[in-house]
Structure 1
C-alpha cells in the first residue's frame, strides 16, 4: 500500500519533537530545530499538497504567491485581498518607531484608507516580488527572473540554469524579512512534465511549511501551463527547519491525526502570460481536512 505523501511532513514534525536542537532564535521565542530535510510530492496525478491533518487556508497561500508575482512589496495589496499574514512585521515597526498603541485591525484599516500612510508604514522593503520580477543589478538594470525562467523552459528545456532566487545580499538590510524560500529550480522531463525544486533556508514547520507547499505547487502549475507542460514532481528542501516552543502542543495534536486524500487542483483558464492569473482561476476540489489548529506567529 502506498504511503500517504503527507506522512513525510508528519515524520518531520516527529523528528523535530524527538531530536530537535533547542535554540534561542531571532524572535526570542525559542525553537526546536533540525538541519536538512527533503520531501517529494508527485503532482502528475492532479493533486496538490494541501495538508489534511489540519485545515490549511489554501486560497490565502495562493493569493500570496500571486502577489509575489506582481512584484509588489506593500501589504496594502494583500489587505485588499483579505490577506493578513504579512501585517505583523510593519505593525511591529510602526509600534516601535511611533510608540502608538494600535491594534492590528486599526493599523490595517489605516493602511487601506490612507495611501500616504500605506506608503510609509505598509512597505516591506525589497522582499520576494521585488527580487523575482525587478532584481536590480550593479549597473542599474532590472532583471525579471520569472520571465527569463519561462523563456528558457520554452526555448532550452534541457538547460540546468532554469532557476530564480531572492537572496540579493545588498538588499537584505532593507527587507522586513529576508526570503525564507530562497531558490526555485525547474527541470523538464522527457515525458512533458515540469519538475520543480524549492530550497527553503528557514522553515516554520507548523505555520509556514503548509503555506509554502501550496504556494509553490500553484506556481509550478502556472509555469507548466504557460510552457505547454504538465506538473511533475515538486521537491521541497529545507535548511533550518524548526518548531517554535509555543507550537509544540499543537504539533503533537496534529501528529495524532490521520491524513486524508490530497485534493486536486485544476486551472480554470489559461491567461496570456504568468501575470494574468487570478485566485478564481484555481479550482481545488475534494479538500477534506481535520479542523484548524491555532498558533501564534513569531515575529
Structure 2
C-alpha cells in the first residue's frame, strides 16, 4: 500500500505548476510575476499537526507574533519592531523615503520608530489594515437631532468576538466568518488585505477553517499565511471546546515573482521531511490573551532558509 504523500507536496506541486504554466504579467510592484488563478490546498490539523513548510526554514515565531498583533487591532509597526519583527517595515519605510527624500536604512528607520513617539505616530502607522478591521470595523450612528446625518461611532464592530460567540452558541451556522476587505477604507491602507476572508465550519466536534486569499506570493508569503491561519484555527478551537479539523487554503491570484527563480529552483530540489507539531501550553481567558510563550513547535527539522527579496 502506497504511503500518503507528505502534506507539503501539494504546495511544491503548486509552486512548480505556477512557475511552469503561469501567465507572465506586469504587476503593481514592477517586478513581474507568473500567476495562476484559483488553487486550493487542504491540510489536516488533527493531532497537533501544523502546515509548516519543511523544504525551507520558516520563522514561525515571527508569523505567530504578527497574528497576535493583528488580534490587538494595532496598526502601527512599533509593537512589531520592538519584537524584532520586520515584515511590515518596508511599506512605511518606502513612503518615508519617497516623501522626505532621506536615504535612511531600515535599522535607522526602525530605531526612530521605537525611540520617537511623534515619529512613530507619523511614519509607523499602516492605516486601517487587518487587525483594525477584524476587531474595530467602523460603524456609524445617527446624530441626535440632525436630519439624516451620521457620525463614526466610538467603538466599531468586533468581528473576532462575534465569531467566538457564534461558534460557541450556534456551531451549525453558515455565518462564521470575518474579513478585512473594507471597501471604504482600502485607499487608506499601506497594503490592502491579501489574506482577506476567513470562514469556519464545525462538524463532529471539530473546527475547520478556510482562508480565501485574493493575492498570494507563493515564494515568501504562503509559508506565513498557512501557518498563521492554522494557528488561528487552533486558538479558536481551544477557546470553543472543539478539536481542530482542517485548514483549507484557497488562493485567488497565486503568483511567483520573477526575481524568485532561484528560490523556486532550489526549493523544488528538496524533499519534505518530518511532521512538526504545534503545542499550545495553556488556555487563556479569551482569544485575545495568548502570548508568544504559549506556543511551541516540536519535531521541526527543516532544510535551510532561502533568501529572496520582498516586492513592495
Same fold (TM over 0.5): yes
TM-score range, shorter chain: over 0.9
What RMSD, in angstroms, separates the aligned Cα atoms of the two structures? Answer: 0.7
Provide runs of 4+ in structure 1 moved above 4 Å: none
C-alpha deviations, 1:206-261, integer Å up to 9, x for none? Answer: 10000001111111111111001111000000000000000012111101100012
SS in 1 for 2:38: strand
* 1:137 Cα deviation after fit: 2.2
Matches within 5 A, 1:80-159: 80-139=82-141, 140-141=152-153, 142-159=156-173
2:177 aligned with 1:169: no
TM-score normalised by L of structure 1? 0.99
**How many matched pairs?**
298
TM-score normalised by L of structure 2? 0.95
Aligned 8 A contact 1:5 1:41 in 2 = yes
2:282 aligned with 1:269: yes
2:222 aligned with 1:209: yes
d(CA) in 2 for partners of 1:80, 1:222: 24
C-alpha deviations, 1:109-158, integer Å up to 9, x for none? Answer: 00000011000000000000000000012433410000000000000000
SS in 2 for 1:216: helix
Note the residue ranges of structure 1 that are not aligned, 5 or more in a row. none
SS in 1 for 2:246: strand
1:43 corresponds in structure 2 to: 45
d(CA) in 2 for partners of 1:125, 1:132: 13
Aligned 8 A contact 1:51 1:262 in 2 = no
Aligned 8 A contact 1:53 1:259 in 2 = yes
Larger Cα Rg: Structure 1 or Structure 2? 2
1:63 corresponds in structure 2 to: 65
d(CA) in 1 for partners of 2:300, 2:17: 27
d(CA) in 2 for partners of 1:46, 1:278: 18
- Which residue, 25, 28, 31 being the options, matches 2:30? 28
d(CA) in 1 for partners of 2:216, 2:158: 26
SS in 2 for 1:186: strand
Note the residue ranges of structure 2 that are not aligned, 5 or more in a row. 142-151
d(CA) in 2 for partners of 1:175, 1:268: 35
